[in-house]
Structure 1
Amino acid sequence: MAGTQDLGGGVRSVRVPIPDNPLGHTLVYVVDTDRGPALIDTGWDDPAAWDTLVEGLAECGTAVGEIHGVVITHHHPDHHGLSGKVREASGAWIAMHEADTAIVRRTRSAEPERWFTYMAAKLTAAGAPEEHVAPLRAARRRNLPGLNPALPDREIVPGELLPLPGRRLRAIWTPGHTPGHVCLHLEEAHPAGLPGNGRLFSGDHVLPEITPHIGLYEDPDDATVTDPLGDYLDSLERVARLAPAEILPAHQHAFTDAGSRVDALLAHHESRLTGLLALLSTPLTAWQLAERMEWNRPWEQIPYGSRNIAVSEAESHLRRLVKLGRAEVVSGSDPVTYVAV
């Protein structure tokens, strides 16, 4: 049996597995509408995941062919991976925020060689040692997962209701985890009568026990210096102001008291920024900072790909500190080093 749950009010969830990932699964939500069911996210593009989604939809009393719309919270492959297969099987539309659609378009059109070259340059600039960068220069023919994601055919416009007849599902733009991440506010009374303003499908923006990764998603052809952590913190406060009765996240489990969880996440990042300032009493590169940051395991045990993600997260925190005037780039440093002000 697929792991399905009836959440009341015409909303069900299906636990779709993520292969070889400690998160375990993505919660795909099935929302009844007057035109048939719609999905919020779809899960990873993997045969076992597809079989689980098909089985889960059957347990929910429907089928893939009945889906008329797919609403994607963000472009990551554990959310958007199966969207193309759902569209092929049903003719459903796929909706995504334009900022993440731009990433999908870039991913589909870019040669893997270009991505490897860009990553090698970014990591070198961040102070990564040559032995870490070398494999990126050597492995350019290797296929990476998620290099041909489905191109969405509808745009999610922040503040507008999604085209789901009979439902009030409003898009809330919550950049940070990705530039085009959206939460989806179901502006309907909670089916169990819980106090608060409806329910919020939170994607990866607010999870009950995990702090989402905040990294960099940049266009190699665009020199704009982004501040994803600043975007994320602002987005968190937007969610707190909504005061939903319940949050339905894309991983783990549903939970209440959104305000307390937002406060905990804000406190976590403030504490982390303060801790990083102490480390920056002497100049450090983004790589050196990542080596010294606290992760869920010692740096020596962090695998290759996860180290790239860790460096990206370190850099997003460094950018925030620079923007706040609490750290600065050391003039003339190469690779670039940062120091507390």
Structure 2
Amino acid sequence: MRMSSSRAEGSRTPVYDHGGGVRSVQVPIPDNPLGHTLVYVVDTDAGPVLIDTGWDDPASWDTLVAGLAACGTSAAEVHGVVITHHHPDHHGLSGRVREASGAWIAMHAADSAVVRRTREARPEHWYSYMADKLTAAGAPEAHVAPLRTARGPLPGLSPALPDREIIPGELLDLPGRRLRAIWTPGHTPGHVCLHLEEQHPSQLPGHGRLFSGDHVLPEITPHIGLYEDPDDTTVTDPLGDYLASLERIAHLAPAEILPAHQHPFTDAPARVRQLLTHHESRLTGLSRLLTEPLTPWQLAERMDWNRPWAQIPYGSRNIAVSEAEAHLRRLVKLGRAEAVPGSGPVRYVAV
């Protein structure tokens, strides 16, 4: 269900009033089919607090500044920034907001660790790590070769270090508001949803409102990939984490979901059921593909994406292989697939 919101009068910037001291600004993502990130502006007794900030781009910054003005405030007045997860379309402008206002930036510790590694990594170390990971996943040498000769910095290597930690289950320090953090790993290790434990301004049935980041979106299934420390050999299960996190949101049953992309919607339990069904269907389909031994790369080539594999650009193929490996790990953990002993690069087959 698409929820109606009033647009700020006299503003050409897409700003919407969701009632109860909550507004959103559509901050554009350059050259991305998602189009924009919904940055939420939450009134508090200490000044406005932003939930996410948008992509670090001059046009995106200008839109955010104009949107804050349309909300009757400014970047200089921002009291704090709460980040749902570390991705650049959410965390990109946090540093500029802090420079303009002195605002604090809060993030879950697991994503703060990713930000810290990103800032500290030597580019050659990451190129080598990515080349080794893709080789182990069965990527052809033609795809890996550019990484072996790559030089110079990777894009997005200087995200702002947060100065506050979001503690799951605790209320955030927002004077006059009740905003509780819910840890929802999967899309990233430290993704959080934020539950506004206040009566819905339109008296919709349910329990408050939920800022869902990318965890639950009305029409999109978020990417589930791997965000691992190159020096840590722990085998994670991000898809399993994501599915368990979905169950928590269904149990919460908020009156309305305020996502970071697309539009607000209601009936979180129904959307969660759709997502759970989607992933079970996908796991079943992958099991059928694994009647023959396949590497993660070969599995990614055969999976259904939003376009044929031949049309998927270089960087997106790396993301696709990461998602294929996340699904393989879930199948292995469920006892529905296993690695073929002695295969190199490793191949998986259904059990």
TM-score exceeds 0.5:
yes
Q: Residue 66 of structure 2 aligns with which residue?
A: 55
Q: Within 5 A, what are the aligned runs for 1:187-226?
A: 187-226=197-236
For 2:287 and 2:101, locate their aligned partners in 1 and report how far apart those are by CA, in whole Å: 52
Q: Residue 27 of structure 1 aligns with which residue?
A: 38
**2:258 alignment partner, SS class:** strand
Aligned amino acid, residue 20 of structure 2: G
Deviations 1:114-161 (A, max 9, x none): 1110000000000000000001111222x3321100000000000000
- Choose which of 266, 273, 276 in structure 2 pairs with 1:266: 276
Aligned amino acid, residue 240 of structure 1: A
Q: Within 5 A, what are the aligned runs for 1:115-194?
A: 115-141=126-152, 143-194=153-204
Q: Residue 123 of structure 2 aligns with which residue?
A: 112
Q: Residue 332 of structure 1 aligns with which residue?
A: 342
Aligned amino acid, residue 167 of structure 1: R
Aligned amino acid, residue 128 of structure 2: T
Does residue 74 in structure 1 map to residue 74 in structure 2?
no
Aligned-residue identity in percent: 83
For 2:199 and 2:37, locate their aligned partners in 1 and report how far apart those are by CA, in whole Å: 25
**2:338 alignment partner, SS class:** strand
Please report how far the alpha carbon of residue 201 of structure 1 lies from its aligned counterpart in structure 2 after TM superposition.
0.1
For 1:296 and 1:152, locate their aligned partners in 2 and report how far apart those are by CA, in whole Å: 34
For 2:150 and 2:129, locate their aligned partners in 1 and report how far apart those are by CA, in whole Å: 13
**1:172 alignment partner, SS class:** strand
For 1:239 and 1:153, locate their aligned partners in 2 and report how far apart those are by CA, in whole Å: 27
**2:222 alignment partner, SS class:** coil
Q: Residue 84 of structure 1 aligns with which residue?
A: 95
For 1:111 and 1:155, locate their aligned partners in 2 and report how far apart those are by CA, in whole Å: 25
Q: Within 5 A, what are the aligned runs for 1:228-247?
A: 228-247=238-257
Aligned amino acid, residue 252 of structure 2: L
- The gaps in structure 2 that reach 5 residues or longer are 1-11
Query: CA RMSD, aligned part only?
Result: 0.5
Aligned residue-pair number: 340
Deviations 1:261-304 (A, max 9, x none): 00000000000000000000010000000000000000000000
Aligned amino acid, residue 65 of structure 2: V
Does residue 311 in structure 1 map to residue 308 in structure 2?
no
- The gaps in structure 1 that reach 5 residues or longer are none
Deviations 1:68-119 (A, max 9, x none): 1000000000000000000000000000000000000000000111111000
Please report how far the alpha carbon of residue 2 of structure 1 lies from its aligned counterpart in structure 2 after TM superposition.
1.2
Q: TM-score, normalised by structure 1?
A: 0.99
Please report how far the alpha carbon of residue 53 of structure 1 lies from its aligned counterpart in structure 2 after TM superposition.
0.2
For 1:26 and 1:138, locate their aligned partners in 2 and report how far apart those are by CA, in whole Å: 34
Structure 1 segments of 4+ aligned residues over 4 angstroms from their partners: none
For 1:315 and 1:14, locate their aligned partners in 2 and report how far apart those are by CA, in whole Å: 35
Deviations 1:159-212 (A, max 9, x none): 000100000000000000000000000000000000000000000000000000
For 2:165 and 2:347, locate their aligned partners in 1 and report how far apart those are by CA, in whole Å: 39
For 1:7 and 1:146, locate their aligned partners in 2 and report how far apart those are by CA, in whole Å: 32
